Structure 1
Amino acid sequence: MHIGLAEDDPEQLALLSLWLTDAQHTVQGYGTRADFIAALGKERFDLLLVDWMLPDGTGADVLQWTRTNLGWELPILVLTVRDDEQTVVIALQAGADDYVVKPAKPLELLARVAALGRRVQRGALPVLRLGAFEIDIQRQRLALDGEPVAMTQKEFDLSVYLFQNPGKLLSRDHLLNKIWGLNTEVDTRTVDTHISRLRKKLGLDGSKGWKLVPVYGVGYRFERSTESL
């Protein structure tokens, strides 16, 4: 799994990272609440490991931001030096899935991480693979010929929807409602702008096996190409 770790003690951060990488996980560590939340807005993790006390805030702050902005599917394990009932209850009520009392014991920590990981796998979203394209919906990453493509959130969401609906005629209004929502204040020109960007970023002119075909007065059809342009 790809794990985000918030721990302000450099020695603890290094030790926890070592245990996790030895268990075949990848780890990105952060020493402050601000840095961690900034990373959560950009990078997709399979699990979060959060120290309850951070120099510029608490684990509760991280939990509140995560649950508000990323939902309740992402597993969160809290590290705390306090094992009193009140602290544990507060952590769980704030959105933690489990907790480990510091100093953490390596086997216990890894067992709890593995248990939460099994939940991720049971609820994991599929990886779409179509020719040169691979879309990891869970981590929200799109790769072309094995290389990740930098995309905005709406570009990614639109890409996923197109790849999930090949061959279908999709109107601009339909795409606008599906990707931006029914109550959006943007207009259909936004759809055209994003479609244009995706054509350039993903080579959707047929050269990579897929193309976005405009349907005059209606919208677009995403279809397989039989020729390279």
Structure 2
Amino acid sequence: MKIAYLEDDESQIEHIREVLTAKGHECRVFLDGSQLIRQLKREAFDMLLLDWQVPGVTGHQVTLWARANLSERVPIIFMTSRSQESDIVSALDAGADDYMIKPIRKAEFIARIDALARRVSPEPVPVPPPIEIGRYRVDAATRTCVLDGVPIDLTSREFDLVLLMFQYIGRILSREHIGGTVWGKPPHAISRTLDTHMSRVRSKLQLRPENGLRLHPVYGHGYRLDIVPDALEKLRSP
């Protein structure tokens, strides 16, 4: 199998890569989540092995991105030192298929990989339904955004931003998360570009209170797309 491995611990990398190579697998190492997401946009892998705590975009965020954006359900195994029950539940809820706590035992590791490879269905994951909020409809399948039935002309990158914000409406998205997910780069590398794209998205979608949605920066963090309840209620009224 062709396996993508997210890890920043050199000793761990060498150990796992040696084990996988000995079993005939191809192991591609990524030191941060931004790099991995960027490659996943270009190339398919048979399995993802993810550490949680890595620089930039975390393994948890990579899992959320993969489940929301990849058309095929690639198997995901977490390998991390985080052992709290809440961490395990959070990873599995995000879409992980298995969870291993470091230190990793060789025989168990190989057995889990083989078992997961056997049971994963090759059938593609159904495309999520369109997101409809007030006057807006965002469709991941057709990559279109519509306002009052009229398509909005968006670049591919702008649509990625819109889809991300609508998927996490009401939640603060860090500049780190946005940069890693949409650009596959750390925030310092695309700071001005991110702000420019957000300004264009706000303008093109007419994200104003009277349309039921408001996009605004959160100082020191990132951006948040909020519902304006009173405005949405007026839009629903006959």
**TM-score, normalised on structure 2?**
0.50
> Residue 103 of structure 2 aligns to a residue in which SS?
coil
Q: Which residue of 2 aligns with 1:62?
A: 62
> Residue 16 of structure 2 aligns to a residue in which SS?
helix
Q: C-alpha distance in 2, partners of 1:182/1:103?
A: 42
> Residue 124 of structure 1 aligns to a residue in which SS?
coil
Q: C-alpha distance in 2, partners of 1:24/1:104?
A: 19
Instruction: Give 1:82 shift.
Output: 2.0
CA offsets, 1:19-63, max 9 Å, x none? 011111111111011111111111110110000111113211111
Q: C-alpha distance in 2, partners of 1:183/1:18?
A: 44
CA offsets, 1:116-154, max 9 Å, x none? 11124xx337xxxxxxxxxxxx9xxxxxxxxxxxxxxxx
Higher RCO (CA 8 Å, separation ≥ 6 residues): 2
Q: How does 1:133-172 map to 2 (within 5 A)?
A: none
Q: C-alpha distance in 1, partners of 2:57/2:43?
A: 21
Q: Which residue of 2 aligns with 1:170?
A: none
Q: 1:124 aligns with which of 108, 122, 125?
A: 122
Q: Look at both structures and tell me which one has the larger radius of gyration over its CA atoms.
A: 1
Q: Which residue of 2 aligns with 1:36?
A: 36
**Total equivalences in the alignment:** 130
> Residue 57 of structure 1 aligns to a residue in which SS?
coil
Which residue identity does 2:97 align to in structure 1? Answer: D
Deviation >3 Å, runs of 4+: 180-185
CA offsets, 1:149-181, max 9 Å, x none? xxxxxxxxxxxxxxxxxxxxxxxxxxxxxxx85
CA offsets, 1:51-86, max 9 Å, x none? 011111321111111111114621100011022211
**TM-score, normalised on structure 1?**
0.52
Q: C-alpha distance in 2, partners of 1:53/1:105?
A: 20
Q: 1:181 to 1:61 in 2, by over 3 A?
A: closer
8 Å contact from structure 2 (residues 32, 58) kept in 1: no
Q: Which residue of 2 aligns with 1:80?
A: 80
Q: Which residue of 2 aligns with 1:148?
A: none
Q: C-alpha distance in 1, partners of 2:91/2:53?
A: 11
Runs of 5+ unmatched residues, structure 1: 126-137, 139-179, 186-229
Q: Which residue of 1 aligns with 2:201?
A: none
Q: C-alpha distance in 1, partners of 2:6/2:143?
A: 36
Which residue identity does 1:113 align to in structure 2? Answer: I
Q: C-alpha distance in 2, partners of 1:183/1:55?
A: 33
Identity of aligned residues (%): 38
Answering whether residue 32 of structure 2 is matched by residue 27 of structure 1, we say no
Q: C-alpha distance in 2, partners of 1:98/1:71?
A: 20
Q: Which residue of 1 aligns with 2:51?
A: 51
Runs of 5+ unmatched residues, structure 2: 125-140, 146-150, 152-238
Q: Which residue of 1 aligns with 2:115?
A: 115
Which residue identity does 1:116 align to in structure 2? Answer: L
Which residue identity does 2:85 align to in structure 1? Answer: E
Q: C-alpha distance in 2, partners of 1:3/1:66?
A: 14
Which residue identity does 1:32 align to in structure 2? Answer: D
